[in-house]
Each structure stands twice: as C-alpha cells, then as structure tokens.
Amino acid sequence: MNKYVPVIGLEIHVQLKTRSKVFCTCSTKFGAPPNTQTCPVCLGLPGVLPVLNRKAFRYAIKTALALNCQITNSVRFDRKNYYYPDLPKNYQISQYALPVGIRGYLEIENEGEIKRVRIRRVHLEEDAGKLIHSEDGRFSFVDYNRAGTPLLEIVTEPDINSPQEAYVFLQELRTTLLYLEVSDCNMEEGSLRCDANISLKRKGEEQLGTKTELKNMNTFKGVRQALEYEAHRQLMLLEDGKAVLPETRLWDPGKQATYSMRGKEEVEDYRYFPDPDLVDYEISEELIQELRREIPELPLYRKRRIKEQYELPDRDVEVLIRDKHLADYFEQAMKYYDRPKFLCNFLITDILGAVNELKSNIQDVKLHPNNCAKLLTMIDKGLISIKIAKQIIKDLIISDVDPETYINQKGLVQISETSQLEKIVEKVIGDNPSAVEDYRKGKEKVIGFLVGEVMKLTRGKANPGLVNEILRDKIKQEVQDEKIN
C-alpha cells in the first residue's frame, strides 16, 4: 500500500427521531405489522399533497449547524425519479440544488491528532419502503411503513484516508447526533446507514483515482472491514496494471468480501426537478439563532474539557462522554463533590453496573446526582463502607431516597467504635487459631481473611481499616502476653 493512499468519502443516512413521517402524519414507530402505518400521501395515491414536518426540518437545520455548515436561506425539495417497487410514487422527495446545509466539517480525533473532515452537504429526504424476500426466493413482499420516514443525508468530501479513520469518523458523528438528540442512531433498526466510497491515490499526486461505492454494511466495524477489503482489491488491480471500474459493490459479511452489484448510475439518470407540491422554505436568522442555542457542547470538545477540568484518564473520559446523560450526571454530581476519579469509578462500575442489571438507563436513575455525591461523602467520612454503598446502590437508584436517611433507617452506619470492634476481633481470633498461627509465622496475606471474617460477622458494617489495625494489635499483644507468661 505504500505507493498509494486510500481516499474515502462517506454518505450517511440518519433517520430523524420524529413521531410522524416527513410529509404526512403516519407514525414512524419501528416494528409495527407491515403496511399498518401508511396513508394516501406516503403511498403516493393521486391527488394528495405533502406537508413538511416542522420538527424534521428543525432537526435537519440543527444538525447542519452542529456540523458547521452554511445554512441555505431558501431550501428546496426536488423529486428524484426512479422506479423501484419499494417506492410507490416512482420518485423520492429529496433535495438537490438547495439543500439545508453545505460546506461544513466535523472534527475527529484519531491517534491523538485532530483532523477536520469536510462535509459537502446535509439534506433532508424521505425514506423508501422495504422489500422482504421469502427464503425460498419465490415471493417478495413490500412493507411501506418506512416509506416517508424522515432521513437526513450527510455527505462528506473525500477527506478520509484510512478505513480506521472512517470508523472513528462514524463514531464521532454518531455520538454527535446522539448529543443533538435528533436520532436514536440505532443501527440494528436501520436508523443509521452508511455507504462508503473509496479509491486509491498515488502518493504525492493530486489526481484522485476511480472510486467504487460500497453498500450493505450494517455496523461500523462492517464499514471498516469492507473498506479494508476494497482497498486491497483495488491495490491488486492497480499493481496488475488493470483499471478499477466505477461501480456499486455490496459487502457480504459472511464471505468478508465485496461483490459487484451494478454500474454506477449518473445524476442525469434521476431527472431531478423541483417538487411542484412543495414551496421553497425560508430559514430565518431567528430560527438559526434559536436552533444554535439548542446545540449542547459537542462530544469531542466536552471530552477535552472534562479531561482537563477533572484530570481523569482518557479511558474514563471516553466512557463518560459516550453517553451525554452519563457525562451530565457526572458533572452534576461534581458540583457537590471533590474526588472526580472516585466518583467516576463509582458511576461507571457501580451505578452503570446496577443500571445494566436493571435493564434501565442512566436517564432513569432516581438517585439525584447531589445524593450520589452525598453517598460518596459518607464513604469518605468513614460513615459507611464502600461495600455497603455497593450493596445498596440498586435500591437507591430505583427509589430516590436520601442516602443518609436510608442508611440510618436500615442501620447500616459503619461501626467505627473501637470497643465494639475489639470484641468481634477477639471472637474471630479465638475461632481461627490456625489462621492466626499462619499470620504469626509471617503469612501477611492471612490478615485479609481475618478482616473478611470480621466483615462477615458485622454484615459489612465494620470499618475495614480500623479492623485491620485492631487485628494486628491484638495478635501482637497475644504474642507479648505469651512471652511474659
């Protein structure tokens, strides 16, 4: 590969998170029985008129803004004409000359370096229906539930230079879209799909090579694998002095290979023209300002800030910012707390652990971030052990009680009373003579076992540090007593 560099451009389709379709009021809910979410508009019956979904339009502008695009002040919808059984109107309403946004960029971080990938355009369009083929190949069925679902198409410039970079770009884009709350980006349900274009360029030359377009990858890893395969396939052709044909190829995840589907269609084939049923839409400066205010701090920048502000390791920050709500929770709790690393660990390991066990998510955690901070402060002050905190966290996150009240009510306050602990330690020493003997002979590790026994007897309430100290003292004392006797 060292004579050539891969040149990659991506076309991403994102399903916008609206309740109804983009030009009619049918539901967009996933998984309904076939053809139950259709109406004359999305079935393309004669005499009907499309009406633009305001929310989809706002989401499109918001995304274009977040991707640093220039917003077109008057946008237009065009008909993209082609015949296919999943397209009942024989045309798709899309945008051609006047898309919502043009000339933007998204910054990504790959191996510590920031790179700008230019966004060529962002446009709003409608999805087609879905064909389902019977396994024996005798029948094909069509489901129009998806027809008319709002899609945002995001097209990059060919600025990406490796399959791995494409992978990182997709992850950054996905996280960004999730932060914007415009799509659920659920790849299994097809809310985020990506076609990848790739060619090889001779190093040091400006001229781009002939590209192929890859389709049918349904995971980001699939996109990376398909690109790796295709880069290799093109390299072999070029090294043999053969030409790369401009074509659309499908990725077969089973075979881990791409195969030719069809020659590339040209834009002329679609006979785009403005949809006479829809007017041009003005995007006012006020609307732009309003939507700009809805854009939160985006993940790449938040990652850098959180890392600096709380001095956390990269790996922790990655986990925190991947989910906006998790990062929000962390930063909320930090307003009442001062040990970021401890909070981060507790949040990622214990709270998320419990959340996963409950098949819930961080947004539904009832324990208010300030109460989480309170719980951790109680550990810091030695009022409860971390073990108790871990035990009760599930209760706390489903019930929204003040942890202090809860702990007092359940009698979980840590035993830090020396006299009380001494009695228990004495019992443990008496019950485990051989372990004590081992410890005396120098087996340091045995102390852990003995502490564990005390914890068992106190059901986790003993202050482990204190128990450790008392144990050592008591055993030492016994030795001295024996010597005196």
Provide the β-strand partners of residue 102.
70, 121
Residues 218-257 interacting with Zn ion (rule: CB under 5 A): none
Q: Does 48 bind Zn ion (CB under 5 A)?
A: no
From residue 340 to residue 379, the character string flagging contacts with Zn ion as x (rule: CB under 5 A) and all else as - is ----------------------------------------
The Cα 257–Cα 265 span in angstroms is 22
Q: Output the CA–CA distances (angstroms, integers) from residue 165 to 288, 302, 326, in the order listed.
A: 31, 20, 26
24 binds, options Zn ion, ligand ADP, none, Cβ within 5 to 8 A by partner type: Zn ion
Judged by beta carbon distances under 5 to 8 A according to partner kind, the member of Zn ion, ligand ADP, none in contact with residue 94 is none
Contact partner, 236, from Zn ion, ligand ADP, none, Cβ < 5-8 Å per class: none
Rounded Cα–Cα distance for residues 457 and 325 (Å): 39
Q: Which does 158 bind (CB under 5 to 8 A by kind): ligand ADP, Zn ion, none?
A: ligand ADP
Q: What is the signed CA dihedral for 328, 329, 333, 334, rounded to 10 degrees?
A: -40
Q: Residue 24 interacts with Zn ion (CB under 5 A)? A: yes
The DSSP code sequence of 456-485 is HHTTT-B-HHHHHHHHHHHHHHHHHHHHH-
Q: Which does 39 bind (CB under 5 to 8 A by kind): ligand ADP, Zn ion, none?
A: Zn ion
Q: What angle separates helix 369-380 from helix 386-399, to the nearest 10 degrees? A: 160
39 touching Zn ion, by CB under 5 A: yes
Residue 280, CA atoms < 13 Å, CB-side half-sphere: 14
Instruction: Give dist(CA 195, CA 10) in Å, integer.
Output: 6
Q: Which helix (H) or strand (E) holds 67?
A: none
The torsion region of residue 257 among left (phi > 0), alpha (psi -120 to 50) and beta comes to beta
Residue 99: CB minimum distance to ligand ADP, A: 12
From the list Zn ion, ligand ADP, none, partner contacted by residue 428 (C-beta under 5 to 8 A by kind): none
Q: What residue ranges bind ligand ADP (CB under 6 A)? A: 7-11, 155-158, 197-199, 208-209, 211, 264
Contacting residue, 7, 22, 42, 436, with Zn ion by CB under 5 A: 42
Comparing every residue's Cβ against ligand ADP, the nearest one is 9
By CB under 5 A, is residue 128 in contact with Zn ion? no
Residue among 22, 26, 93, 373 that touches Zn ion (CB under 5 A): 26
Q: With respect to ligand ADP, which residue has the nearer C-beta, 121 or 461?
A: 121
DSSP 415: B
Take residue 325 and report the two structure tokens written for it.
């709500």
CB of 209 to ligand ADP, least distance (A): 6
Q: Which is nearer to Zn ion, 20 or 225 (CB)?
A: 20
CB atoms within 10 A of CB 70: 11
Residue placing its CB nearer to ligand ADP in the complex, 238 or 386: 238
Positions touching Zn ion (CB under 5 A) are 24, 26, 39, 41-42
